[in-house]
Amino acid sequence: MDDQYLYQQIADAIRQDILAGKLKPGERLAAIRDATSDWGCTNATIQRAYKELASQGLVVSHVGQGTSVAAGNLPQEQIPLRRAMLLNRIETNLFEVMSSGYTPDEVEQATRMALDRWRTFSEQSQETKTDILRFVGSHDPAITLIAAQARDIHPGLEIKVLFTGSLGGLIALAEKDADMAGCHLWDEQRDTYNDPFIRRLFPGKKMAVLTLAHRRVGLIVPLGNPMGINNITDLVRPGLRYVNRQTGSGTRVWLDVNLKRIGITPESILGYQDEKKTHFEVALAVATNLADTGLGVQTAAISFGLDFVFLTTERYDLVIPGEKWEMPFFQSMAEWLKIPKVKNAIQELGGYDTSETGILRWIN
């Protein structure tokens, strides 16, 4: 092939690998000598291809260090192509999945769960950009819904989500590592959710508490509940395998309080130390026969086609420091949550009561 056009082919191939994420920021490209061997061309052709990529802001070259993928955000003009490539990859995978007999609802639920799992294992963002809002707290599928709609709620804003558990979310707020927390911590003495914990962690500080929903919590069991599990007293049965939520999660707090109340020790429960960070992970363990039951929200059981033994209803709140409440996004989100179609979307996840969704109260 004429070198006049080969350099463009080389540049296009490398560009696609960068946009597709096959070549990561900071990763070095092949040395010119190696590239000429791979492509069967001259040094000048490879140099021209690299120069073309550099002019597009995709790579950087340093004397004695070679050429590497540029760090940071993609140049603005490359974003449409990257998104088009992503859409093509998703459509290809979607065609394969749909051809295997899965329904659109099943695919949508699986995608939502996969995104939750990805967020769980991703590191907390250290960015301080004004268009990034940091959520830290308890896992809830409705949070994924809010994150996905963030730009519709308030244009130009993105929500970074980190699921750490309810207590972890409040601590992140206290340490200024979050802008909003999600929690459902039950206080046994007052038989209420969240408020006592917020007062203890933020004494004298004005905090906005916005109710997301009330949700049904219980034991997730295989379809048909073959072991006849009815309550947490069944968790001590010989051979019954339990899967737990992590320390600091609201679900774990509720369980530990009630186990202590009825005199069951953690040591007597097989699998008590097996911790998962999301309700979907608990349901996945039951669905794949790695556990016989686990405590979680009803929507997780529904998503995996499992059965559910109802135990309690809890209030899930979004907690925002008073000084951050003035941010336009929070004002927009509070109104957005009151929209009937939004409440319906949350209810359709399964196991939610949205009668108090969007109600705001102030603490301290």
Residue 256, pLDDT score: 96
- The domain limits of the chain are 3-75, 103-364
Residue 214, pLDDT score: 97
Q: pTM for the full model? A: 0.66
Q: Which residues of the chain have pLDDT under 70?
A: 1-4, 20, 72-89, 91-92, 95-96, 99, 116-130
Helices (H) and strands (E) in the chain, counts: 14, 14
Planar angle of CA 114, 342, 158, nearest 5 degrees = 55
Q: Note the residue count of the chain.
A: 364
CB burial of 176-210 (b: ≥16 within 10 Å; e: otherwise) equals: ebbbbbbbbbbeeeeeebbbbbbeebbeeeebbbb
26 contact partners, CB below 8 Å, separation of at least 6: 68, 69, 71
Residue 83, pLDDT score: 57
Tokens of 267: 């040591």
Residue 108, pLDDT score: 77
Report the CATH fold assignment for 3-75.
Answer: Arc Repressor Mutant, subunit A (1.10.10)
**Contact between residue 341 and residue 258 where contact means Cβ atoms under 8 Å apart:** no
Residue 292 to residue 286: CA distance in whole angstroms: 6
Burial of residue 30 (number of CB atoms within 10 Å: 0-12, 13-18, 19+): middle
Reported as a single tens digit per residue, the pLDDT across 188-239 is: 888 899 999 999 999 999 999 999 999 999 999 999 999 999 999 999 999 9
Residue 99, pLDDT score: 67
Domain 103-364 in this protein, CATH class = alpha beta
CB burial of 234-245 (b: ≥16 within 10 Å; e: otherwise) equals: bbebeebbbbbb
Tokens of 224: 């048909």
**Contact between residue 254 and residue 282 where contact means Cβ atoms under 8 Å apart:** no
Nearest CA to 50 out of 83, 41, 73 is that of 41
Residue 253 to residue 256: CA distance in whole angstroms: 5
Residue 38, pLDDT score: 86
Neighbours of 251 (CB within 10 A): 26
CA distances from 211 to 234, 319, 338, 361 (A): 32, 9, 11, 8
